[in-house]
Amino acid sequence: MKKHIPNTITCCNLISGCIATYFAFKGEYSTALTFIVVGAIFDFFDGFAARLLKVSSPIGKELDSLADVITFGFAPAALVFSTLSSYFMAGNGDLLVYVPYLAFLIAAFSALRLAKFNLDERQTMGFIGLPTPANALFWATFIVTLPASLSAEPWLPYALIVGIFISCYLLVSEIPMFALKFKSFGWKHNELRYVFILLSAILIAILGLAAFVVIIPFYIIVSVINNKLSKQ
């Protein structure tokens, strides 16, 4: 019976992503963000449960990626699509009405990133490219913190489009990024992880979930700097 526990948790992640997508298309962005966060929590505990119960399996690995495509690929793409639609689809008949569909590149590149992760043996204790949960949390919190009407800031819709291409590049890039995985819980060799967790906790305490708008770019910058320093 215990062998089914991790996969059940993974399915809860997938269901959370489906619910997040539903609310994203309805324009209820805060609720969508909540379910993406819930999905991220399930995503953490399915792997933890598999290791704890020693019931890791190939089907669990594949199911995890399928769930992540929904929760961390399609759900944030739906959020960006709905946001851009409210601005560009106001002018029916204009070619700009097709611009919001660029948001679904996030889902496609998230799937590519997860496929690479499953085959890349270099990513046991770190990541190559931006992890899909980090990308999803950034987009979800960013969308929630935007003005109610993008028309208030005419440059914002175009900034979102640029952001789509940047995040797609980061997902499949060869940039090494550290993971919050611990071989041991001592300070030595975990300094970066503990400092990052502490600073992130402080930001979340101050800003709430909106802190991820700052935490994810900070994570990318710290990863790049750490990678350069480790090569010296």
Q: What percent of the chain has pLDDT over 70?
A: 90
Strand partners, 171: none
Q: Quick one: average pLDDT of 102-126?
A: 87
pLDDT confidence of residue 90: 61
pLDDT confidence of residue 87: 81
Q: Quick one: average pLDDT of 122-143?
A: 88
The answer to whether residues 17 and 46 belong to one domain is: yes
Global confidence as pTM: 0.89
- Mean pLDDT (the chain, rounded): 87
Q: Quick one: average pLDDT of 20-41?
A: 95
Q: Which domain holds residue 70?
A: 4-175
Q: Which residue has the higher pLDDT, 106 or 48?
A: 106
Q: What are phi and psi of 100, to 5 degrees?
A: -55, -25
The answer to whether residues 129 and 206 belong to one domain is: no
The answer to whether residues 158 and 202 belong to one domain is: no
From residue 156, alpha-carbon distances to 88, 106, 139, 184, 197 in Å are: 12, 18, 14, 44, 30
The answer to whether residues 152 and 109 belong to one domain is: yes
Q: Nearest Cα to 50, choosing from 35, 38, 62, 39?
A: 62
Q: What percent of the chain has pLDDT over 90?
A: 52
